[in-house]
Structure 1
């Protein structure tokens, strides 16, 4: 039986979490706006903001005097020193970022690698970055935890990496390695699912309830789903593995790998080879593709576009999203002629679900996976804002 005291404590925790969630996801809000958005009274909001401010989770400032209408209300914004660490291990680099409450990356580093890293090596990269940043940009910051965005199947129940084939990982406890190395709470999630969450909260799909997100990276193609406003992970957390599906039968002559899957055909490595580059980040690859004049590059881009268009049309017919967001090199394929690309997707769809479909490039660039992974840390913060993260 729940005691009256514990029930009151639960309500207070939930109310504190509501305030943190609002300023984290929507930015600076006045006390009056918080009162209206939460349905709580002014004195309750004042008490909650005071407690969160004392804990450093929010900060208050005076309102803009030029926009004053009636009695001014103090503005509440995310605490500047509340951070999460995020890491994205890939076959060509390990990227690490410090993400502030509010979804802003305040520090990041990219470690190029020439061979596949292990979970222990990934954790050491993170530990080294944390130690260096604590002497510099993160001095005095409150780091609430660390989260990994992994290109592979990650079990939702406990964050175990079941398989990350391009990294050579199986049944890998990356979260455990990160926790032991940093002394912080740690979690792991699928990289593309992290990208879907980030773009849904802060990027191209903000305020959209039905979203299909596909991410193209060095390890292949993954995806995430947001349906009816909720992230869809599936029974075990493995939903969204678009890259492991067979391309449409219409791909026919465009196939290069008999019996291969989508990520064998729509492939970052093939684009790099076409522009005669051995390695590059997405920005450099995009510039190289835009500057290329030879027919081989144009033919390869066109081939991959056709296969990707058929895949997106199938997904949109099944799921009827409002928005499809493309991240990584998939956005580069669309960028050469967005209107023609989008028309090619709709032409292969049923007319009704095609009517209001929009296709967009991811807006958060190279930060999207780090921001999405950090959200796992901030979810725990919102659940119990004043709890000791350890």
Structure 2
């Protein structure tokens, strides 16, 4: 009897693992032919058929006939993640709270940016996010399932419970934001550092695809953060605080940072300084990118000087990242991506001239591919993680 119980348990464990593998593949790679799943997993056709049927019954994938093909033989059905299964994403910043609805197919259905006009407290941000989600509930009724909320926070977030230990620009410290948002909305909430989530999103769906070792650096209204992928795995540190490149030293004669140190990267490279030379009070990443492009094309001397100054300090930080992590790729998001695009050859030249030659020789620096959706997709991945790990769990 004990032997039979063990065998049954092992078979169930294998089945659950295989369900997770198949769902993860169609989630990350998009619609796949059933034959491709058979080839990639090494499982036989009948096993893949049974796994797909179970995922269809669970409402997690859809199966459809393929497009017309000239190939000989019966075409293989196509399996796709069901976009009606959604996660909510929340990103609090110094000037707005953004809420998104993201499907299991990695499609951003909605993104609502709610300007605050001031730096919101944690309680205010939770209330704003809850109100926006309430406004989205008529749309959410069309979803077959809402798995929960992922939060991208511009600061240090304790991995185990979502407490924001420190978000300097938001002026938050020891804030149980995830718990407050869960209480306000009734959904399970998981929170993590925004740049770490952005790194994962770009690795899975954007400019970081195929790179096992990359550094993602994001610049926004709330400063500069970074996420590091090493050997295909996020580098989190013992408590989830790793990757704070925004607080690395780039100017020993600089000014004091929110964190208390002198000359941090984000004191020298900032969205606020760019907005000031452009004569803008505020702008989302896309608006800022367009404004910078227009000003540089027009030869505005103040803008050109500020862009060159910021690229110089950014190169110092990226040199350090290159020497320490030896990445294959550095991906720049937010206004940092816009800076890089203004002169795509300038930053690689600056980094290569300063970094160890062996580390820099194979390095690629590129702009993030997911644009304004990046933190929505990254935060949603956080909420989808339990489902992807155990699709058949209740």
Q: TM-score, normalised by structure 2?
A: 0.93
Task: Give the Å deviation of 1:123.
Answer: 2.7
CA distance in 1, matches of 2:36, 2:107: 22
Other structure's SS at 1:106 match = strand
> Which residue of structure 2 aligns with residue 323 of structure 1?
329
Other structure's SS at 2:69 match = helix
Structure 2 contact 69–75 (Cα < 8 Å) conserved: no
Task: Give the Å deviation of 1:59.
Answer: 0.1
Q: Are the structure 2 counterparts of residues 276 and 138 from structure 1 closer, same or farther at C-alpha, using a change threshold of 3 Å?
A: farther
CA distance in 2, matches of 1:115, 1:56: 42
CA distance in 2, matches of 1:88, 1:136: 20
> Which residue of structure 2 aligns with residue 144 of structure 1?
147
CA distance in 2, matches of 1:378, 1:69: 38
Q: Find the partner of 1:113 among 116, 120, 141.
A: 116
CA distance in 1, matches of 2:278, 2:135: 36
Aligned residues between the structures: 384
The runs of 5 or more residues in structure 2 that have no matched partner are none
Matches of residues 220-259 of structure 1 in structure 2 within 5 Å?
220-247=223-250, 255=254, 259=262
Pair 1:282-2:285 in alignment: yes
> Which residue of structure 2 aligns with residue 341 of structure 1?
347
Task: Give the Å deviation of 1:67.
Answer: 4.5
Structure 1 contact 133–139 (Cα < 8 Å) conserved: no
CA distance in 1, matches of 2:139, 2:105: 21
The runs of 5 or more residues in structure 1 that have no matched partner are none
Q: Structure 1 residues 288-297 or 320-329, which shifts more?
A: 288-297
Other structure's SS at 2:127 match = helix
CA distance in 2, matches of 1:55, 1:319: 41
Matches of residues 1-390 of structure 1 in structure 2 within 5 Å?
3-136=6-139, 139-247=142-250, 255=254, 259-292=262-295, 293-388=299-394
Structure 2 contact 214–329 (Cα < 8 Å) conserved: yes
Task: Give the Å deviation of 1:127.
Answer: 2.7
Other structure's SS at 2:246 match = helix
Structure 1 contact 134–140 (Cα < 8 Å) conserved: no
What RMSD in Å do the two structures reach over aligned CA positions?
1.8
CA distance in 2, matches of 1:160, 1:67: 55
Deviations 1:244-288 (A, max 9, x none): 111056xx6xx5669331101111111111111111111211222
Q: TM-score, normalised by structure 1?
A: 0.94
Task: Give the Å deviation of 1:157.
Answer: 2.1
Other structure's SS at 1:239 match = coil
CA distance in 2, matches of 1:80, 1:305: 39
CA distance in 2, matches of 1:113, 1:276: 20
